[in-house]
Amino acid sequence: MSGFETRAIHAGQDPDPVTGAVVLPISLATTFAQEEVGRHQGFEYARTDNPTRRALEECLASLEEARFGFAFASGMAAEDAVLRRLVPGDHVMIPDDAYGGTFRLVAKVLAPAGITWTAVDLTSPEALAAAMRPETRVVWVETPTNPMLTVVDVAAVAEVAHARGATVVVDNTFATPYLQRPLALGADVVVHSSTKYLGGHSDVVGGFVATDDPALAEHLGFVQNAVGAVPSPFDCYLVLRGVKTLAVRMDRHSENARAIVALLAEHPAVARVCYPGLPAHPGHEVARRQMRDFGGMVSFVAAGGEAAARAIVAETRLFTLAESLGAVESLIEHPAAMTHLSAVGSPLAVDPGLVRISVGIETVGDLVDDLRHALDVGAAAAADARSPGWRSAFGRRRRVSDRRR
Ligand code: PLP
């Protein structure tokens, strides 16, 4: 098998046999001619299969070193397709800091349909073993998790789950197949929000599922066609185009994240940094074993709590205050009020002082300067909150905001 970067550029994408075009043409046709009933060139109707989507599925499956791959209209549609295998009475295990959308799908869509669930600390195989039930069909893993960057030992989870006959699904969105290949670690299914690093440019929403299991593949292909939550050919093209540079982007994301983490680790506005590359991170050794590098996602808890977190995210200029992650531009957000709002009041609620950063691939010194300035504001907000009598947080904010203009 050729190298990762080669497959990212060529898998599923030979030059067009008709014109020689080196970039795969976007195939917009919704239907395909048949010479006689049932005799055609492999395509009938575009929801079922189309050339651009097939190229994307071949390319991404090749990157995950999987036999089968299925593209969906979003990461959530991909997750839904996997979980549609469950029937009333089945039980699913989710991480106790799962992505808010996964929690919402399980707790608010599947649960009313008769599927039960438990949120468990997947960093502890013992806790997982204790929580497993005879009817547990799926153990849903995210590693690193969104937004806490918790690292889960996929091989250890697979051992427990497989001993009880459950399927292991890994959401590989944060790591990407460049940094981590869950199937090789023992997982049965990999899911992605290709909206993130696979697309890489904040211009396409998509999802992907890979597996080696023919029975699961048959289920996924059936649901993809029967439900029809499929990506458009143009969206498939955008992900294909994005993935060509995945390896170089992930190297730079990881490198820039190291500099950002170094700043956070020494800044007084920061109480705690969550990054698997830090030797003090509880999952550091596992991450070193199962990941090539530690990626571009970083979270931290502001020392001044929620007020300071909100002040910091409002103050950056290069880091755009926005949801989503995994693209070339740096983003910053406040999970409790933004991406993880759906988990408020649940056992999966996040610390309101938490800030999540998606470190982009801009010039690293510019990123460090921008964040340092915002952290200084956060530190001042925390100091003001401690002694409001002599300096108002508002006054300090206004002075700094002048600088923004
Ligand atoms: N999984 C993770 C880890 C995510 O961060 C997200 C979105 O943020 C999703 C799944 C859902 O993907 P999408 O937004 O493409 O539906």
Q: Is 252 a catalytic residue?
A: no
Active-site residue (options: 104, 137, 181, 196): 196
Q: Is 289 a catalytic residue?
A: no
For 155-166, write each residue's pLDDT tens digit: 999 999 999 999
Is 289's pLDDT higher than 90? Answer: yes
Distance from the alpha carbon of residue 202 to the mean position of ligand 1, in angstroms: 13
pLDDT for the residue 216 = 98
pLDDT tens digits for 79-113?
A: 999 999 999 999 999 999 899 899 999 999 999 99
From the number of C-beta atoms within 10 Å of its C-beta (0-12, 13-18, 19+), residue 310 rates as buried
State yes or no: is 47 an active-site residue. Answer: yes
* Helix extents (H) in 2-111: 4-10, 51-63, 75-83, 100-104
For ligand 1, whether the C-beta of 76 sits within 6 Å is: yes
The pLDDT tens digits of the residues spanning 177-189 come to 999 999 999 999 9
Computed on alpha carbons and rounded to an integer, the radius of gyration of the chain in Å comes to: 22
Q: Higher pLDDT residue, 9 or 380?
A: 9
The two beta strands, 331-333 and 354-358, are antiparallel
The residue annotated as part of the active site, out of 80, 97, 153, 171, is 171
Q: For the whole model, what pTM was predicted? A: 0.94
pLDDT of res. 403: 39
Does the pLDDT of residue 13 top 80, yes or no? yes
Specify the range with the lowest mean pLDDT, choosing from 258-267, 358-367, 392-401. Answer: 392-401
Mutating to test ligand 1, I would choose from 60, 74, 76 the residue with most ligand atoms within 8 A of its C-beta, which is 76
300 CA distance to ligand 1 centroid (A)?
20
301 CA to centre of own chain? 20
Give the distance (Å) from ligand 1 centre to CA of residue 94.
15
What are the structural domains, with CATH classification, of the chain? 4-243 (3.40.640.10), 246-402 (3.90.1150.10)
What's 36's DSSP letter?
Answer: B
Q: Which residues contact 354 (CB under 8 A, 6 or more apart)?
A: 147, 148, 299, 300, 301, 302, 309, 334, 335, 336
Instruction: Check 7, 99, 137, 384 and give the catalytic one.
Output: 99
Cβ proximity of 302 and 382 under 8 Å:
yes
Active site residue 244: no
